[in-house]
A and B are shown apart, each in its own frame.
Chain A
Amino acid sequence: MHNRMITATAVLALTAGMAMAEKSEITVWGWGVAASSLMATVEGFNALNPDITVNVEQMGYSQVKSRVLAACAAGGTGLPDVFQFQNVEMELITAQFPDCAADLAELGFGDDDAAKFPEFKMTALDTGDKIHGMPWDTGPVMMFYRRDFYENAGVDAASIVTWDDFIEAGKKVQAANDGVVMTNDNLNGGAEWFRMIANEQGCGYFTLDGESISINQPGCVAALDVLKTVVDEGLLTAGDFGERLQNSAAGAVATQMNGAWFEGSLRTNVPEDHAGKWGMYLMPTVAEGGPRAANVGGSLLAISNTSDNKEAAYKYIDYTLGTNEGQITMLREYGLVPSLLSALDDPYVAEPRDFWGGQTVWLDVLATLDDIVPAVGTPFFGDADQVMQATQIAYINGEFSTAQEALDDAARQISFNTGLPIAE
């Protein structure tokens, strides 16, 4: 009796599956320009798969994150067929809800597919028994700057090598441009600046094995010191993501430090007469000769286990993320840096960009890829990030005498919250 019921269900599921394959519809959740770029690949995808309708729902980053987590906690109820998630945060899902995302290996993602992406993008997604998602983009950190503001101050961007150079340049830029601040950070709602400089200096919240806390090590201490100096010198004002874009569009800020995916957000949000006025240069470093590359952000696409259209969903993500055509479309339209290795050799990346004053920005961005030190997320990324946000504000407001003292305190708190030891 029991067996017969299972067979009946299987047959039903199969026929349903076949009916779906003829004409199906998938829903995708994504945020900001990432969602826009997904919409941009639909046309190319439909040329190959005319029977699959793709609906991209564009939301804010935290909206996608909290809705996905809540839906995973509810056993997958209410999830779309495909959702975007940040790489550093994915381990939250793989650790707590290992069944939430579908196993891509079952849908056709083999070892040869995994080899098409850099290893650091796959580590969080491959838990050994299962592939939880497909890598999307990376976020090599760049300085996005206003050429005209720098020129007014007689500052040559190429001469900015260390953070001390950046601070000197900032003073000149602010003196020469009325009402312009050197840079912005999401100081009151995130720790991105700290994370970017720390990553550049080879330090992260956790050691690479994810088993201990390394936030109080020298690279992180240096990063916090740089941040405080820039703030103390009056060169940095706070703004969340939307406000930083507004400031950029209003011509009220000279430099934004961010992952290269910021290119599309910036380019599509500033007025048209900004074309040619922006440029990019590498992040400054702490000591001359030091590293000048870091990564921030970078996402993946996952298929939900509760989706009725897994096959169609896989076809879509495989086209969008797994082919040069899909990845280059997103790079061209919205500046998302492919993590698909073969896309990096596409002729498009070597072209000069008019918006960026004729600079071959993608060559400059991609040249940093080899120097990026991986940073692990672990399921405790959120815990650590919250402690760091509080610590950063406390240190800037003078509650600790040294950055080392502040980060020792942060390390103790993270250890207390997560149960992980502090690395020696």
Chain B
Amino acid sequence: MRKRNLTAYGFLTPYLAIFAVFWFWPILYSFYLSFLSTRRLPWSWNPGMTWGRIYQDPAFFNALWNTLKILLIQVPVMIALATILAVLLNSRLLKARGLMRFAFFAPVVIGEAAYAAVFRLMFNAEFGIVNKTLGQMGIEGPNWFGHPDAAMAVIIIAVTWRWMGYNAIIILSGLQSIPEDVYEAAKLDNVSPRQQFLYITLPLLRPVILFCIVLSVIGSMQLFAEPFLITNQGGPGGATETLGLFLYRQGFLNLNFGYASAIAYTIAALAVAISALNLWVGRERE
């Protein structure tokens, strides 16, 4: 090895040493753990209790299905709303634009615990403002935290409320990078505003929207705080338990480290697969 390279590696050593001890070693060790039965001491080699369990564990499939529900419903709805919001925020007709942009971005700044507590109060079945308002309109509101689908709806509403403005701001920056003259040319050709949106704005926004989708998908895969805090640790009866929460339960509440490691590897594999799919769908086509 040339001397120059040696010096470079010398400077890298502190980082590499820390990476090896705190990242690389745990990754390898948890792979080894995923083959052990850790239910009682001493831990013993028993992949049947971990890998053998995961593909036939109804609780795992419940968590997987819940995560997919959020991915398939919440992400598209939020991105669509964020796009519409971005277009509205970009409108020349809008007064106090800076304030409006900040107002929609603000939810991200709020601490998770604080906003979770407010959502729990708002959706309280007996006293919450949501059911009281629905009651005024003659609609009987559901028992939000008691019914599996209603609880899932609360999670989706909460996450959408929190992250929609954030995505809208990213999309807004994309909108502002679209040159004005494209729209001027369209106007001269008598293209209606709706068509302008569909055939000019959306295609030119594609890379930005794809970026937002990838971010949101990763966020949804890791969703933890909302089901933990708002729906009482994934309640009712596991109806809002996500993969992240399931992993936490197995690892840190049941102390089943072997199984939790197997779940962690499965989640990582799923995240890689979904990201690859995203990139493949969104690749530049000639």
Taking Cβ atoms with an 8 Å cutoff, the residues of A that contact B are 62, 65-66, 69-70, 73, 92, 95-96, 98, 181, 186-189, 237-238, 240, 243, 250, 252, 379-380, 382-383, 386-387, 389-394, 397, 413, 416-419
Q: Which residues of B contact A383 (CB under 8 A)?
A: 254, 256
Q: Which residues of B contact A240 (CB under 8 A)?
A: 232
Q: Which residues of B contact A379 (CB under 8 A)?
A: 39-40, 255
Contact B236 A187 (CB under 8 A): yes
Contact B235 A413 (CB under 8 A): no
Contact B255 A96 (CB under 8 A): yes
Contact A419 B49 (CB under 8 A): yes
Q: Which residues of B contact A66 (CB under 8 A)?
A: 252-253
15 further contact pairs, Cβ within 8 A, besides A188-B236, A386-B249, A393-B238: A62-B233, A66-B253, A69-B252, A69-B255, A187-B146, A188-B146, A188-B151, A189-B236, A238-B236, A382-B254, A386-B59, A386-B254, A393-B148, A413-B58, A416-B56
Shortest beta-carbon distance from A404 to chain B in Å:
19
A419 to B125, CA, bound (A): 39
Number of B residues near A (Cβ < 8 Å) is 36
**Quick check: is B266 within 8 A (CB to CB) of the other chain?**
no
Q: Which residues of A contact B38 (CB under 8 A)?
A: 96
Contact A389 B235 (CB under 8 A): yes
Contact B41 A238 (CB under 8 A): no
Shortest beta-carbon distance from A143 to chain B in Å:
21
From A188, A380, A387, name the one whose CB has the most chain B CB atoms within 10 angstroms.
A188
Taking Cβ atoms with an 8 Å cutoff, the residues of B that contact A are 37-41, 49, 53, 56-59, 62, 124-127, 143, 145-148, 151, 231-233, 235-239, 249, 252-256
From A250, A391, A393, A416, name the one whose CB has the most chain B CB atoms within 10 angstroms.
A393
> Contact check: which of B126, B146, B238 meets A389 at CB < 8 Å?
B238
Given contacts A69-B252, A252-B126, A189 and B59 within 8 Å (CB-CB): no
Contact A189 B57 (CB under 8 A): no
Q: What are some 5 contacts across the A-B interface (CB < 8 A)?
A: A237-B126, A237-B143, A379-B40, A389-B236, A393-B239
Q: Which residues of B contact A416 (CB under 8 A)?
A: 53, 56-57
Q: Which residues of B contact A243 (CB under 8 A)?
A: 124
Contact A397 B148 (CB under 8 A): yes
Q: Which residues of A contact B249 (CB under 8 A)?
A: 382, 386
> Contact check: which of B49, B56, B232 meets A189 at CB < 8 Å?
B232
Closest 8 CB pairs of A and B: A393-B237, A189-B232, A188-B236, A188-B235, A390-B237, A390-B238, A382-B254, A189-B235
A397 to B148, CA, bound (A): 9
> Contact check: which of A70, A96, A252, A391 meets B237 at CB < 8 Å?
A391
A96 to B36, CA, bound (A): 14
A176 to B256, CA, bound (A): 50
Contact A237 B148 (CB under 8 A): no
Given contacts A188-B231, A390-B238, A73 and B148 within 8 Å (CB-CB): no
A188 to B147, CA, bound (A): 9
Given contacts A390-B237, A393-B236, A413-B58, A98 and B255 within 8 Å (CB-CB): no
Q: Which residues of A contact B256 (CB under 8 A)?
A: 383
A380 to B259, CA, bound (A): 14
Shortest beta-carbon distance from A92 to chain B in Å:
6
Shortest beta-carbon distance from B254 to chain A in Å:
5
Contact B254 A188 (CB under 8 A): no
A235 to B278, CA, bound (A): 49
Shortest beta-carbon distance from B18 to chain A in Å:
18
Contact A98 B41 (CB under 8 A): yes
Q: Which residues of A contact B235 (CB under 8 A)?
A: 188-189, 389, 393
Contact A394 B253 (CB under 8 A): no
Q: Which residues of A contact B49 (CB under 8 A)?
A: 419
Contact B39 A69 (CB under 8 A): no
A418 to B250, CA, bound (A): 12
Closest to A96 in B: B255
A416 to B259, CA, bound (A): 13
Closest to B254 in A: A382
A92 to B126, CA, bound (A): 37
> Contact check: which of B53, B59, B238, B253 meets A382 at CB < 8 Å?
B253
A260 to B243, CA, bound (A): 37
Closest to B120 in A: A243
Closest to B37 in A: A419
Closest to A384 in B: B254
Closest to A381 in B: B254
A170 to B82, CA, bound (A): 48
Shortest beta-carbon distance from A101 to chain B in Å:
15
Q: Which residues of B contact A73 (CB under 8 A)?
A: 252, 255
Contact B40 A189 (CB under 8 A): no
From B57, B147, B148, B253, name the one whose CB has the most chain A CB atoms within 10 angstroms.
B253
Contact A392 B254 (CB under 8 A): no
